[in-house]
Amino acid sequence: MGKGRAPCCDKSQVKRGPWSPAEDLRLIAFIQKHGHENWRALPKQAGLLRCGKSCRLRWINYLRPDVKRGNFSEVEEDTIIKLHQTLGNKWSKIASHLPGRTDNEIKNVWNTHLKKKLACKDDGEHSEGDESKGSSSTSSSSSSSSTIMSSGKRALEMELDEQKNQGFSTQKPRILENEEDSSPRGVSNNQFKPAMKPNELSSSSFSSNNSSITNSSQADVSEPDGEKTGSFFNFRGRYNVRNSLEEVNKPEEIVTEIPFESDYDFWNMLDSLSSFQTSGIQLQNVEAGQSSRFGDAYNMGEVENKKWLRYLENELGLDATKDENQNLSKNAAESTIVPENFQHDMPLKPAEVHPGTVENFHLWPSL
């Protein structure tokens, strides 16, 4: 059709590929300040050389505060399987039943091992059963959903709705216990699992469309310690740190208390630059299930918060990822955050609050 659709952006003018920590920060900082009413305009306003869609995806799949990462629990897997039977490849719908999970993640999990798991199961149970075997036909299994009996479907949906309403609060969060189980190949990238308490998840109203704020990002914290003390972000391609919480290597009970630290180590790394190394852990011990965690409980001053973010921006813009950040800073000259008179020796953050925690982001005024 002549109408067609305008490209969402000028591909030649946007950066593609993995997001750098600097970009993440910039995106987070911008959304913190201004929200994301217009994804298309956002990159420009935020000084990002990215397509709006890319920003949106990055936010939804990674940077949102309510994104739960790490291996899927048995319950979650079962839920996905059930939902997939009824809904097919409606990943976003499935995701809406799984607090903190994104459609993309669910899709990946399905395509990577749930499908295989099901296939194996089927093979085992009725070695040559249903020809449909939707799970074995790569990424085209959506049609299988329509074959489900409607009565069963109805009941299942009700059941799932119930689960959804309960926010999975009775489930054990998927934590470290079944790591090997759900990541047969070790999954290097996925070894850092932030553990979120289910009740936290429910308390902050999850859904893949939800747009609260997050920390997270993935600084490459996997690098040797020595490198961590170098320049802020020695970004080298992917910096899949994701959720480095597991590095904390705590007993399970404790891990489950950790709120939202999807990139704990990232922030921890930042912290280490200014001798703040403990508050993050302290924060983990705070019972975070209460909704107040997004409110007054950690209500550091807004000014402090801004200072912290400004510091980050400044740091990044000045010496971190160099060219990229120079561009970013240039483009964002009027819209962002580089402070005029910011002192490098200022405290990175209020003592009680770990900068990487969502709490801080939830202080952002425009949200």
Interface contacts to DNA, rule CB under 7 A? 2-3, 5-6, 8, 11, 15-19, 36-41, 50-54, 56-58, 61-62, 69, 89-93, 103-105, 107-109, 111-113, 116, 138-140, 142, 183-191, 208-209, 222, 237-238, 240, 242
201: enclosing H helix or E strand: helix 198-203
What are 82's two structure tokens?
């059930």
Nearer to DNA, 15 or 172 (CB): 15
Q: Kindly tell me the burial class for residue 130, based on how many C-beta atoms sit within 10 Å of its own C-beta (0-12, 13-18, 19 or more).
A: exposed
270, 232 in Cβ contact below 8 A?
Answer: yes
Exposure string (b/e) for 305-327, b if CB count within 10 Å is 16 or more?
Answer: bbbbbbbbbbbbbeebbeebbeb
Q: Which is nearer to DNA, 97 or 349 (CB)?
A: 97
Q: How many CB atoms lie within 10 A of CB 363?
A: 22
The least CB distance from residue 159 to DNA, in Å, is: 20
User: For DNA, which is the closer residue by CB, 147 or 290?
Assistant: 147
Closest approach of DNA to the CB of residue 208, in Å: 5
Of the candidates 214, 271, 216, 278, the residue with the CA atom closest to the CA atom of residue 244:
216
Phi, psi dihedral angles at 204 (to 5 degrees): -110, 25
CB of 353: closest distance to DNA in angstroms?
Answer: 26
CB nearer DNA, residue 67 or residue 348: 67
Answer yes or no: are the C-beta atoms of 221 and 241 closer than 8 Å. yes
Q: Tell the smallest beta-carbon distance from residue 181 to DNA (Å).
A: 11
Euclidean distance between CA atoms 66 and 163, whole angstroms? 18
- The structure tokens 């001798």 sit at 275
Closer Cβ to DNA, 19 or 267, answer by number? 19
User: Toward DNA, which CB reaches closer, 3 or 126?
Assistant: 3
Q: How far is the CB of 243 from DNA (least distance, A)?
A: 9
What's the min distance (Å) between Cβ of 92 and DNA?
3
Q: Smaller CB distance to DNA: residue 122 or 304?
A: 122
Distance of CA 184 to the CA centre of its chain: 22
| Smallest distance from DNA to CB 35, Å | 10
- Residue 20 CB contacts under 8 Å (≥ 6 apart), including other chains: 233, 235, 239, 321, 324
- 111 or 326: whose CB is closer to DNA? 111
Give me 311's structure tokens. 């510091």
Cβ closer to DNA: 48 or 337?
48
- Is there a contact between 338 and 285 (Cβ–Cβ < 8 Å)? no
**103 or 122: CB nearest DNA:** 103
Give CA torsion, residues 172, 173, 174, 178, to 10 deg. -30
Residue with tokens 């305009």: 41
Nearest distance, CB of residue 325 and DNA, angstroms: 16
- For residue 53, the minimal CB distance to DNA (Å) is 6
Q: Residue 364 Cβ, how far from DNA at the closest point, in Å? A: 18
Phi then psi for 182, rounded to 5 degrees? -95, -5
Cα–Cα dist 225/279, whole Å: 20
